[in-house]
Structure formats: structure tokens, C-alpha cells
Structure 1
């Protein structure tokens, strides 16, 4: 007799485990012949589905499905119960071929996997789809126990882990193939990873459209893909800005980014948004402004015209507000600090607000004092490219910043 460990098995229903052999047939039929929509592989890759149409009619297909189920599955369940006294069936259980105790039609059939797919996994996926509108099941998702909305056999099942294994380890491959029509109806992603699907259907197409619409790839962090025809429908409502930020920091889509780097470069993807804004928008726009207007204070509401000779990447950008934030909030401070001499040559006011000074400069001066004592910062002092200085501040001309903001330094008597 087969010995099966309860720890390796999966429990169906208490009534089926405790029913005597003579009474098990009715109990098994109540579970096995409950309404079903799709079933898994039968023999030699043959499949039967509730959606099949045999002899030109759906009714014939349904009768064939029920007949095949009764002949194979129900017979196998009865035999398993008779031989083992329970239905604690391991997922890997396969009916031994040539064993006369089993109906010959069931020989070689992977009863554990097929039954679990039909009665637990697929019904759980269908209910998840009904509740959430998609089948991107989180890895830690477990079917809630005691919730009557879910089939009882699915209660407590770690659906997220199962779904992940289907995608990565390709388990239940024959069942997935047999249920393809139903899985496709639910847009279940089973042939590639979620990351690969989202990259191909959402991220990359959205980046391309962003470039077409805005003329650059400086996607701000809070940008959400609008629900408009120009944008890929599957990406509507997606937080593209946050996704792009994660891409820049190497947190997500690492494989896809390396593989498609040439594609991203071809659309001008900004690997470092601040650096791209400074080098491709702010400095070129300042230079063009000086060439056209001869310098002077740039109005806060000044917007870069969408025409030559202005840099195309800067068209429509509010240069006035960008410069105002630079002085009042200390934005782009590292770039400001490295290019402060150039800004002076362009006639830009380099004085910072009290807020920007306290936020950006004061911490640097504190560190300078720790390292060099109370001595005055020389005009030519440049933050060295070494610890304990923050790497983002390397190359900042701290001495020149102090010299051009005398309002914050005490006067010597």
C-alpha cells in the first residue's frame, strides 16, 4: 500500500477524509462534479474544456467533458480513497502504470497536480480576478480562510507563491496550456515575468510617448500617465515618474535597462535628471538668454520659447521659476556650486536666500570647521573628492559661494 505523508499532502474536505470507503463515492462526486469551467490535460496532451465545441454544438462538448471527468478523475479519486483511506494527496502523485488496482484509463495520470489545478489554483485565480480586476497576484498573497466568496478548497492557499512558481519555474505547464483560453481572458501573465511584460507594454512605450509630447525624457517624480489616447492604454494611471526614478537608481527593471540601453539613449533618456536639466536645459537657456537680451535679471515668469535658437530640450520650460527656486530653495545646489563662476560670467545673481544657505551651505561650513578649525574659508577652496565630504558635493566651490554671499558671514573688524 502507498504510504503518503500528511505533511506533504493537501487536505480537501473533512467529510471526504472521514467518510467510510463504502460511502465515499457520493462525497467525492459532490466535490469532483461541482460546476467547473475549465479542466486540465487528460491523456497524451489531450484536453477538454467547457468552452470546447464538439460536433458543432456546445452541448456535445459539455457532455464529453463530463464523461471524460467521470471516467478518469472520479475513478482515480475513488481508487485513491480505497487504497489510502484518505485524500491527502501529494501534488506530485502520479498513478502508477501497470498497477491493476487502478483503472487502466488512469495509468500514468498526474492526479495530484491536475486535481489541485482544477479545484484550487484556477478557481482561486478566477476569484482574485473577480475581486481585483487583474491577476498580478502579490507574492505574499494567501487566500483568506473563512471568506465564503472564495471556494472552500482554496482557503489558506498561498496563491502568490504558486503564481510566481508558474512564471519562473514553469510548473503546471500542461494545465496552463489546457486553460489558456481562460487565463488569457483574465490577462494572466504566465509566459514572461511581470517585469518583462510591464517593461514592454507600459514603461518603454510611455517613455517614448513622453518624449514625443514633452520633447525630453526629464520625467518628474510625480508624473502619472494620463488616460488619453496618445498614451498606451495599459499604462493609464501608472506612476511613470516613480518608475523612472527607480530605473535611474537601479532598483527595478535592471535586466531590461541593460538590454535596452541603446533604445533608451536613442530617445534621450535622462539617466540623471538633475544633471540633464542643468546641462541640457538651464545652462544652454541662460547662454541663449544672454545672447538675445544681453543679460539682466530674468523675470520669474519667463518661459523658454518653443523656437530656435532656444535649445529644443528647454522649449516650454519655466526658466524663471527654475532660477528662483535655485536661489530661494537651493535646488540644483551641487551644479550651482560647481558652475558658480560661469553663472557669474553670464550675469546671474548668485546670492542665496537665508533658507537655502541654512539648508545647503551651513552644513558644509560646519564640516569645514571640524576639519580645518575656525580659519576663514579661502576663496579658492573646492570641496575635495574624498570622505568625509558627501560625494554629491565633490567639486563644489565652497570658497567662492561664501565670498559671493557676504550677507551670511561675520565682518572682520
Structure 2
């Protein structure tokens, strides 16, 4: 450190290392009497000296300075005047140099710990006060929340390098990765503790599950109850990517989440924490408590109504959903995916011969006949249709517009966290969905309904749709 305040002969001397070595020798009683006497004259052995100096001289001086000069900018050459109202113990102290050293060498870190908040309130902006997270993480979180309404940032998310709405200093910053680090370090970490007040003001949650629950699930449930008058969310329900649904919730698989909450497979800790809030919006805890209860309270009464309307021998299609506006069905069954539930129930039924179940009767068709007659087109359920159009198809359309076609999309392409892609698709592995479509592994009904559109976009190539049919027939 080539600093004129230090003797030139000491420049570059490892003083901290030397002090540590001397302390070690003192503990082992390896210092000579003369060395001990010289060090005592320097107050070397007074462990609390730095704390006394901070408490009696530096902190009072730092509090007084802005009241006399109107700001917190202390010039490097500022020396405390040897007169009132300055604290007598601080007279002659090179305060400007000490402040510079605080910022560059992080001295007095432990001594100022209890006064950090007070120094912030006075107006000092030292890095040591705010910690390493103040320069990039906090501004990044503030802007992210302003844009997207929450701080539940995916671990892979990076500030776009080509988005001018972000400051240049933040572009390319791996914000998602740093959020993971902050959550892992926890509130007790010294660097995190420096920005706790600011994080709390942003609504930042250290538990990622709590963040997802508070920022996405709870607001979506509130809106669902407001729109439909209850919280009987169908299992396949996905939050629409449009108003009046809260933007942070767009694309959330609310039906799946609600089912897991009721089965205590997800968000158990958050549910207990926010139980009173859930009960206030009318959340029903036991609607899907067990298969038997669901069958007794929802399925059987709905079947009875369906048979009355459509005839006693009428079969219920897999895509049938109990109409939300049909008063003939029980209130608890509104929007219940009855057809899908029965299909799954028949598959799991124990103690019945294959031909005695709804699905079993279908399986009596010979394999040869099945091969001669490919799978017939079935209508998509309302929620599957919504997910397909708002999330998957829309993402393929955007990709094709940006790249001329989806033909050469890589297998692991992930939807960027930015427009023009729909927010509900951000972070989605679109390349994997493309592979499933081309190989016919999933989305049979969607392929049948949107084949021409998919071929036009380059999602399906020559022979892909036929290969998908053959794959399903062999299965």
C-alpha cells in the first residue's frame, strides 16, 4: 500500500500477518520482557481498545459530522478539529483516512456491527454497511419485482443482456443463482443480515416453497374463490394468463397444487402458517380427502344426475366435466372432472374382473382390430385445451416467429424468462415437449386437432404424426 501516511519503508509490509504472529507468540509466552514492555506501551494487549475507540471517538464523530456539514461525504484529508463540539477523544484523528480504510480494508467490521442500521439511517453508504448484496442483488430484485410482481425467481434466470429496461451494470447478472445463495446462507449470515430490512420490504421469502405459495398459489386461490364462489378447484385447472388473474400466478397448475395441499403432500408448513387466511377465503380441506369420500359425496350423486339427463345406459366420456352453472348437480361437484376421475378409478379398481370395469370393456377389443382402427380423436378437456393454447402452442408460435420455424429447435431448449413468450411458459423445457410431439409419446389429442398448425410451425415434420399413431397403437 503506497500511502504517504505510512513510512515508505513499511510499504507492502504484511502488518496483519505480523500482528497475528506476535499474538501467537504472546500466547505461547515466547516474547522477551523488552518486547512485552514495548507492546504494552502501544496498548497492544488491550483487546477491547478498538471497541472503545469506536464507541467513544469514531461513532460520536460520525454522528456529528453530517449535522455540521450537511452531508456524509468525508474528504480523505479531513482531520477532526481539536475543539468542541467534537468529542475530545477524537481530536486530531484522521477521520477521512479512517473512513477510506473502512471501505477499502473493511476495518472496524466487528466494532460497527451494532451501529450499522443507525449509520444507514444517517445516510452513510459504505459497502461495509450494506454488504456484498447491495450493489447488484438488491437492485436486481427491486426491478424484477416491479416487472413481474414477485421475488420467486427461478434458479437459472439471468438478467437479459439485450433488454434496455435493465441497467447496463446488471445485464448478464445471474440473479436466480444469487437468490439461491442468499436462501442457502440464511438470515444469520453476516452479508445477508446487512440487507434483511431491504429484503423484507420487497416481500422476499427465504423459503422457496413459501415464496411460491404466497406469491402464486394464495393470490390465485383468492381470485378463484372470487370468480367461482368456492375453492373446489378442478385437478386440471391452470391459472389463465390474462386479467383479472394476478400476473405472478399465470400458468400455475392450481388444481394440481390444491389437490396436493389437501393430501398434505405439498406446502404443509405454509398451510399451517396461513391456515386462518385460507379459511377466510372458504378453503375446503376434505373435499378430496379419500377416494371413498369423493365417490360418495361427488361422483355417485353426479352420476345419478347424469343418468337422469342422458339416460340410464349413457356412458360418460373421459372429457366430461360437471358444468359449473348447472344447478341439477351438487354444488360440491362444480367443475369436477368426472369423466377423467372415473377412468382413473376403473384402472385402480381391485377385486373386479377386467370385463366388469369401464376401461376393461374397451380392452376386450382384439389387438388386430385395434391396429386396423387407429385411436379415435377425443375432445380435449377445457383445462387441457387452455394449457395447450395459452402455454405450449403459443410458445411454439413465438419461437417460429423469432427463428422462422421450430424445425431446428434443440432438444433441451428452455423458454426464456422474457417477452414475447407468454409468462406462463417461462422456464418450460419446450424442446422436450417438441420431442414428445414428434415421437408421439404425449399430446395425441392435440396432434389430432392441431396437426396442420403444428406442421406449418415446423413442430411436426413429415411422418411425425403417423409415427405417433403407430406408437400409440403398439402400446
**Given the two structures, how large is their TM-score scaled by the length of structure 1?**
0.45
